Amino acid sequence: MANVFSVPRFVISGENSLKLGMDYLNAMGTKALIVTDKAMVDLGNVKKLTDEMDAKNVSYYVYGEINTEPTHSMVDKGVDLYKSEGCDFLIGIGGGSPLDAMKAIGAVYANGGSICDYMGKKIEKGLPCMCAIPTTAGTGSEATKVSIITNTNTDVKMLLNDPKLMVDYAILEPDFTLTVPPSVTAATGVDALTHALEAYTSIKAFALSDLFAVSAIKKIFDNLYSVYTNGNNHAARRDMAIAAFEAGVAFTNASVTIVHGMSRPIGALFHVPHGMSNAMLLKVCLNFLKPAAIEKLCELAKVIGTYRVGMTVEEGADSFVAATYALLRALNINTPMDYNINKEEFFKQIPKMAEDAMISGSPLNTRRTPTKEDLMELYAKFWYEGEVEHANRTEKA
């Protein structure tokens, strides 16, 4: 079967990427709308960018109001600003939230209407030039044809997926990730791990997507715990920035599957950060997937070094699953109880969450095809396993 493989036009990576990337500014346009969040402004990251832009005489307007989980109203405001400020290109700097908001602003500016009408539709007209500068090592939005925006009228995290959402320039400046706090480092790192793992086990996986997925998984197992315990480990931060990009490339070409499908509704309804809800779901979903992905999981055991000579394929797969659980435990992944989610409300929403997950299409890319009933069962398991974990922690404390 033939496959299309997409990546951004230019990828600038390694130390001092920001400086090198700025050599391309004049090719991007004359005035940028910089889409970002307050933390990026307060941390001085936006200033580092605008200082470089000032030096090149390229104008900009800073739109720094994107919160985690960007909404359709934030996109509307961005489009208004893009027009009123006379901008002709876009720069997104921050985690996945500002990067996704930037893409949605570009889409609505070029195609009109409301972003709420874009879910499941093809984007017709080309977007302005876009440059993504990720500051978390997680979403891989800088490498994907995806933007995720919450429609607050319906409480749905809309998955927009179109080749026109791929950026022109991705600048992977690892220094920006040095300030990410441990819990965000863990959540975003597990998001990247989930992208790679889901891409590798997706029914749409192919040779090139596997190449990127495997490389990302190896780097994440080698470095995530190090950056979680020592945020200043430059070499590990650099490898994680590359891993997140690779994982993004893998999943945008081979798709995510059940974890992401189930994670978006939890984010939309209960406001659990994307990486954290993925991390919590990974455990139950990996168990569901395992019978249909034994060979592939055994291959991953060889990649991360848990496979031992003489093991059966199943034992190899088990060793990979066990290593993943151990990593999640070491990263102190939260439980649903940490977000004060009401149990009754959670169970009441399970049918809607399962329905929304199925509609997104992602679960159907899983090697073991789930039904809506399977998803409902997995949501319940997610809750009960969280309760056990929470009780264990409370007992230890």
Ligand X SMILES: NC(=O)c1ccc[n+]([C@@H]2O[C@H](COP(=O)([O-])OP(=O)(O)OC[C@H]3O[C@@H](n4cnc5c(N)ncnc54)[C@H](O)[C@@H]3O)[C@@H](O)[C@H]2O)c1
Give me the 32-61 binding string for ligand X, x by CB under 6 A, dash otherwise. Answer: -----x-x---x------------------
Residue (252 or 306) nearer to ligand X, CB: 252
Angle at 195 between CA 190 and CA 199, to 5 degrees: 145
Could you tell which of Fe ion, ligand X, none binds residue 135, using a CB distance below 5 to 8 A set by kind? ligand X
Question: Are residues 195 and 247 in contact, defined by beta-carbon separation less than 8 angstroms?
Answer: yes
Shortest Cβ 84–ligand X spacing (Å): 25
Shortest Cβ 340–ligand X spacing (Å): 19
Shortest Cβ 197–Fe ion spacing (Å): 11
Residue (128 or 265) nearer to Fe ion, CB: 265
Q: What ranges in 230-342 are assigned the alpha helix state H?
A: 234-254, 258-270, 274-289, 294-304, 313-330
Shortest Cβ 281–Fe ion spacing (Å): 11
Q: How far apart are CA 309 and CA 79, in angstroms?
A: 57
Could you tell which of Fe ion, ligand X, none binds residue 144, using a CB distance below 5 to 8 A set by kind? ligand X
Does 96 participate in binding ligand X (rule CB under 6 A)?
A: yes
Residue (95 or 128) nearer to ligand X, CB: 95
Looking at residue 69, the DSSP 8-state letter turns out to be S
Does 147 participate in binding ligand X (rule CB under 6 A)?
A: yes
Shortest Cβ 184–ligand X spacing (Å): 4
Shortest Cβ 301–ligand X spacing (Å): 25
Could you tell which of Fe ion, ligand X, none binds residue 183, using a CB distance below 5 to 8 A set by kind? none
Does 151 participate in binding ligand X (rule CB under 6 A)?
A: no
Element (H, E) at 150: strand 146-151
Residue from 50, 71, 97, 335 in contact with ligand X (CB under 6 A): 97
The tokens describing 110, both together, are 């070029």
Collapsed DSSP state (helix, strand, coil) of residue 133: strand
Give me the 180-209 binding string for Fe ion, x by CB under 5 A, dash otherwise. Answer: -----------x------------------
Looking at residue 13, the DSSP 8-state letter turns out to be E
Q: How far apart are CA 61 and CA 283, in angstroms?
A: 43
Looking at residue 309, the DSSP 8-state letter turns out to be T
Q: What is the signed CA dihedral for 281, 284, 286, 292, rounded to 10 degrees?
A: -130
Residue (12 or 99) nearer to Fe ion, CB: 99
Q: Please list, in sequence order, all residues whose beta carbon lies within 8 angstroms of the beta carbon of residue 317, skipping any fewer than 6 positions away.
A: 290, 293, 294, 295, 297, 298, 301
Does 144 participate in binding ligand X (rule CB under 6 A)?
A: yes
Q: Please list, in sequence order, all residues whose beta carbon lies within 8 angstroms of the beta carbon of residue 323, skipping any fewer than 6 positions away.
A: 221, 301, 304, 306
Could you tell which of ligand X, Fe ion, none binds residue 284, using a CB distance below 5 to 8 A set by kind? none
Shortest Cβ 360–Fe ion spacing (Å): 12
Backbone dihedral region for residue 148 (phi beyond 0: left; psi -120 to 50: alpha; all else: beta):
beta
Q: How far apart are CA 118 and CA 368, in angstroms?
A: 29
Residue (191 or 318) nearer to ligand X, CB: 191
Shortest Cβ 283–ligand X spacing (Å): 19
Binding residues for Fe ion (CB under 5 A): 191
Binding residues for ligand X (CB under 6 A): 37, 39, 43, 68-69, 94-97, 100, 135-136, 138-141, 144, 146-148, 176-177, 179-180, 184, 188, 191, 274-275
